[in-house]
Amino acid sequence: MDYRNLGRTGVEVSTLCLGAMMFGAWGNPDHQECVAIMRRALDEGINFIDTADVYSAGESEQIVGELLASIGPSRREEVVLATKFHGRMGDGPNRQGNSRRWVISECEASLRRLGTDHIDLYQVHRPEPGTDIDDTLSALSDLVHAGKVRYFGSSTFPAWMVVEAHWCSERRHHERLSTEQPPYSVLARGVEADLFEVCQRYGMGVLSWSPLAGGWLSGRFGTGKDNTSRRSARLPHRYDMSEPGNRAKLAAVDKLADLAAQAGMSLPEMAVAFVLAHPAVTSAIIGPRTMEQLVSLLKVPGSPLSQALLDRIDEVVPPGTNLNVADGGWVPPWVAEAGLRRR
Write the CB contacts of 215 (distance below 8 Å, at least 6 apart in sequence).
221, 229, 231, 232
Q: Going along 104-260, which residue ranges are E strands?
A: 119-124, 149-155, 179-181, 205-208
In the chain, the percentage of residues whose pLDDT exceeds 70 is: 98
pLDDT at 116 exceeding the cut of 80: yes
Q: 3-class DSSP state for residue 49?
A: strand
pLDDT at 235 exceeding the cut of 80: no
What is the number of other CB atoms lying within 10 angstroms of the CB of residue 219? Answer: 18
Would strands 12-14 and 3-5 be described as parallel, antiparallel, or unpaired? Answer: antiparallel
DSSP state letter for 203: T
What's the confidence (pLDDT) of residue 3? 97
Average pLDDT of the residues in 4-11: 98
What's the confidence (pLDDT) of residue 241? 81
Task: Please choose, from the candidates 179, 211, 233, 165, the residue with its C-alpha nearest in 3D space to the C-alpha of residue 327.
Answer: 211
Region for residue 78 given its phi and psi (left: phi exceeds 0; alpha: psi -120 to 50; beta: otherwise): alpha
pLDDT at 233 exceeding the cut of 70: no
What is the number of other CB atoms lying within 10 angstroms of the CB of residue 297? Answer: 23
Active-site residue among 3, 55, 122, 239? 55
Residue 44 to residue 226: CA distance in whole angstroms? 33
pLDDT at 48 exceeding the cut of 90: yes
What's the confidence (pLDDT) of residue 301? 76
pLDDT at 232 exceeding the cut of 70: no
Residue 133 to residue 279: CA distance in whole angstroms? 28
Contact predicate 272/300, CB 8 Å = yes
pLDDT at 237 exceeding the cut of 80: no
Contact predicate 75/92, CB 8 Å = no
DSSP state letter for 28: B
- Report CA Rg, the chain: 19
- Return the C-alpha torsion angle 261, 324, 240, 21, nearest 10: 80
SS3 content of the chain, % helix, strand, coil (to 5): 45, 15, 40
pLDDT tens for each residue of 145-189:
999 999 999 999 999 999 999 999 999 999 999 999 999 999 999
End-to-end CA distance of the chain: 55
Contact predicate 83/61, CB 8 Å = yes
Please report the domains of the chain, with CATH numbers, ordered by start residue: 3-340 (3.20.20.100)
Q: pTM of the entire structure?
A: 0.95
Q: Is 3 considered catalytic here? A: no
pLDDT tens for each residue of 247-300:
999 999 999 999 999 999 999 999 999 999 999 999 999 999 999 999 999 988
